[in-house]
Amino acid sequence: MNILVTGGAGFIGSHTVERLLQGGTDQVSILDDFNDYYNPAIKRANVSHFADRVTIHEGALTDSAFVQKVFAEGRFDAVIHLAARAGVRPSIEKPELYIDTNIKGTFNLLEAAKATGCRHLVFASSSSVYGVNKKVPFAEADPILQTISPYAMTKMAGEQMCSNYSHLFGIKTVCLRFFTVYGPRQRPDLAISKFTRLIEEGKAIDKYGDGSTMRDYTFISDIVDGIIGALNYRSGPICDIFNLGGSQTVTLNDLISTIEEAVGKKAQIHQLPEQPGDVPLTSADVSKAQALLQFRPKTTIAEGVPEYVAWFRQMRDQGVVMC
């Protein structure tokens, strides 16, 4: 099988590429622009373990000619589309950048798939599409009435584009709504990463609200299990949607305590009001993924956070700037 992984140098992407190679996938290619949203050296380190076993196409999804060229040369059997501009708060500051990358970039990708006969695509969506959903846990059949950030809006648009291309052009698409993924190689701007670095350095962490907000944290190896399950999912509707979560909600206060224990230091708290665009709760109903993708999240937050801390310290000791 010949597979393209967009965003393959990033956090989730690099772990996915490793799993594909371990599983004996015939040919794996990466499309990534190695942008400076965070230190590109981290992404270079991510791919260093397997760079000689894959084909790396360095360029932007927004460049339609580049994307068409990659597809024309690669003639891929399937695409795992993980590349995106991520983050709720930055999307509020720079919505046009998110629209260009996440909407136009996904459009370019689907157009290239259509033109070259690629008939299977896995799309990385997000739990943020649920917005302020009062029904808990969130299920795929829940009506999406109001997204509350440009990032969430672009992911909802991506799902709708996948649906369009499935029904119009016969491309099997599987949209995966990720719930707060964490673990080694996690982006430096995310809570576990930022808190670990600041607590290690003896600096104050920003705590928004009273700490009662809750997230369904999902360890990276569990997420990759779901991605591989989606790649192998060939039955069901031509466009389908699945939640991938850890099935355990953790308060911000409990998360801070878990990181403190893993780091071995107490956090200094800089108290701030709640942030616009943040949802108060994410909680995944993963029964559909369990039934159809054989998805079984196994790693608890108490097990996963120390693994991230160990990786963070290893990278820091190697002189990589973790921001």
Q: Which residue has the tokens 């230091």?
A: 265
| DSSP label of 61 | T
Query: Is residue 217 flagged as an active site residue?
Result: no
Structure tokens at 202: 């003896």
Closest CA relative to residue 299, chosen from 128, 137, 183, 125 = 183
Separation CA 220–CA 98 (nearest Å): 24
Catalytic choice (130, 151, 165, 217): 151
Separation CA 8–CA 28 (nearest Å): 10
Q: Which residue has the tokens 């701030």?
A: 272
On whether the CB atoms of residues 80 and 233 are closer than 8 A, the answer is no
Closest CA relative to residue 110, chosen from 191, 151, 29, 165 = 165
3 state DSSP class of 309: helix
3 state DSSP class of 92: helix
Active-site residues: which are they? 151
